[in-house]
Amino acid sequence: MIKGFIGTSLVDYPGRISSVVFTYGCNFRCPFCYNIDLVLPERYKKLKNLPESWVIEEIKRRKGFIKGVVITGGEPTLWGKKLIRFVEEIRIETGLPVKLDTNGSQPELVKSLVEDRLIDFWAVDFKTSPARYFELEGDFRLVEETFKVLKEVADQVEIRITLYPPLLTEEDLEEMVPYLSWFKRIALQKFVPEHTLKQEALGPVNPSFYHKVAEFLRERLPEVSLIKRF
Ligand code: SF4
């Protein structure tokens, strides 16, 4: 399940120093994805598996210093019950809060994790308008179900939007606004045009695009906190 581990990160869990666990495999193919080593089977097969027990011990060793654990990927929720058991173990063994990053494609698993209060903070991607999720090989109906589940714990959720202009036209953003209004916190993150899944000629995005998107969302969602994540 695990192919990567960072002992100490200052940027992955808002407000907390954390350890970060990387699971492998993903059911989406976002053109802007830069985690291709964890997404493409021909790449992740070459990476060493890290035993869960080893990762837990590494987290325990840092317990006095780190204040949380982040599980990211790839797409961690694809690991189903194995992920649930791993989160339970982190909580029992370390007592640390856990943040989970997800693309929102496994609503049933998210529901179980919410009901069992196993996750303290959620970061959920919102990649484009619902009608364009097929371009990422995703199914927005599942993401919508996840949003509905997480709406009930909106205080613990950050919705992340990657500033990738081809998937964020004004029409796309307009279609995303009704869902964004369910939440309290939106993070706008930079698109990094290096080693991405779709090797295309899209260079660095002009910083004015951030201002354009931020202004658009501020006008329509004045109650929501907008965070610049870069
Ligand atoms: S950006 Fe996230 S959801 Fe998209 S392909 Fe990469 S790991 Fe999967």
- CA–centroid distance, 124 to ligand 1, in Å, is 11
The per-residue pLDDT for range 16-30, each reduced to its tens digit, is 999 999 999 999 999
Closest C-alpha residue for ligand 1 atom 1 = 33
Per-residue pLDDT, 193: 86
> What is the reported pTM?
0.96
DSSP calls for 163-226: E-GGG--HHHHHHHHHHHTT-SEEEEEE---SS-SS--S--PPPHHHHHHHHHHHHHH-TTSEE
**Domain segments of the chain: what residues?**
2-229
- Over range 115-144, report the average pLDDT: 98
Q: If one looks up domain 2-229 in CATH, what number appears?
A: 3.20.20.70
Closest C-alpha residue for ligand 1 atom 4 = 30
31 lines ligand 1 (CB under 6 A): no
Eight-state DSSP code of residue 58: H
From 118, 14, 8, select the one nearest 64 (Cα to Cα). 8
The per-residue pLDDT for range 171-197, each reduced to its tens digit, is 999 999 999 999 999 999 999 888 898
74 lines ligand 1 (CB under 6 A): yes
130 lines ligand 1 (CB under 6 A): no
Ligand 1 atom with minimal separation from the 162 CA: 1
β-strand pairing of 16-23 with 68-72 = parallel
Q: How many CB atoms lie within 10 A of CB 61?
A: 12
Ligand 1 atom with minimal separation from the 73 CA: 7
103 lines ligand 1 (CB under 6 A): yes
- Over range 122-131, report the average pLDDT: 98
Confidence of residue 202 (pLDDT cuts 50, 70, 90): confident
